[in-house]
Amino acid sequence: MTPDISQPKQVRKKNRKQEIIQISLELLQTQGYENFSYQDISSALGITKASIHYHFPKKEDLGLALCGAIKQWHEDLFLNLRDSDHSAKDKLRIFVEALLSYAEGPYKVCPLSSLQADVAKLPDTLLPALQDLDRHELDFVSQVLEEGRQNGEFHFPGDAQAQASIFVLSLKGALQYSRIHGGEWISPVLQQLDQLLQASST
Partner DNA sequence: GTCTATACACCGATAGAC
Partner DNA sequence: GTCTATCGGTGTATAGAC
The DSSP annotation for 145-180 comes to HHHHHHTTS-B--S-HHHHHHHHHHHHHHHHHHHHH
d(CA 57, CA 23): 17
- Minimum CB separation of residue 47 from a copy of itself in Å reads 23
Q: Is 95 a residue that touches DNA (CB under 7 A)?
A: no
Contacts of 158 (CB under 8 A, 6+ apart): 201
Task: Pick between residue 15 and residue 187 the one whose CB is nearest to DNA.
Answer: 15
d(CA 86, CA 76): 16
Of these partners, a copy of itself, DNA, none, which one is at the site of residue 165 (CB under 5 to 8 Å by kind)? a copy of itself
Q: Using CA atoms in the order 149, 147, 77, 96, what is the torsion angle rounded to 10 degrees?
A: 0
Each residue 31-50 as x (binds DNA by CB under 7 A) or -, in order, gives: -----xxxxx-x---xxxxx
- Minimum CB separation of residue 13 from DNA in Å reads 3
- Minimum CB separation of residue 106 from a copy of itself in Å reads 11
Half-sphere exposure in the Cβ direction for 24 (13 Å, CA): 28
Residue ranges binding a copy of itself (CB under 8 A): 30-32, 34-35, 107, 113-114, 116-121, 127, 130-131, 134-135, 155-159, 161-163, 165-166, 168-170, 172-174, 176-177, 179-181, 185, 188-189, 191-193, 195-196, 198-202
Instruction: Report yes or no: 106 and 29 within 8 Å, Cβ to Cβ.
Output: no
Q: Is 107 a residue that touches DNA (CB under 7 A)?
A: no
Task: Pick between residue 66 and residue 130 the one whose CB is nearest to a copy of itself.
Answer: 130
- Minimum CB separation of residue 52 from DNA in Å reads 8
Burial bucket for residue 78 (CB in 10 Å: 0-12, 13-18, 19+): buried
Instruction: Report yes or no: 186 and 193 within 8 Å, Cβ to Cβ.
Output: no
Q: Is 67 a residue that touches DNA (CB under 7 A)?
A: no
Strand partners, 155: 198
Q: How many residues in the shown chain lie near DNA by CB under 7 A?
A: 23
Of these partners, DNA, a copy of itself, none, which one is at the site of residue 200 (CB under 5 to 8 Å by kind)? a copy of itself
The residue ranges that bind DNA (CB under 7 A) are 10, 13-14, 16, 36-40, 42, 46-51, 53-55, 57-60
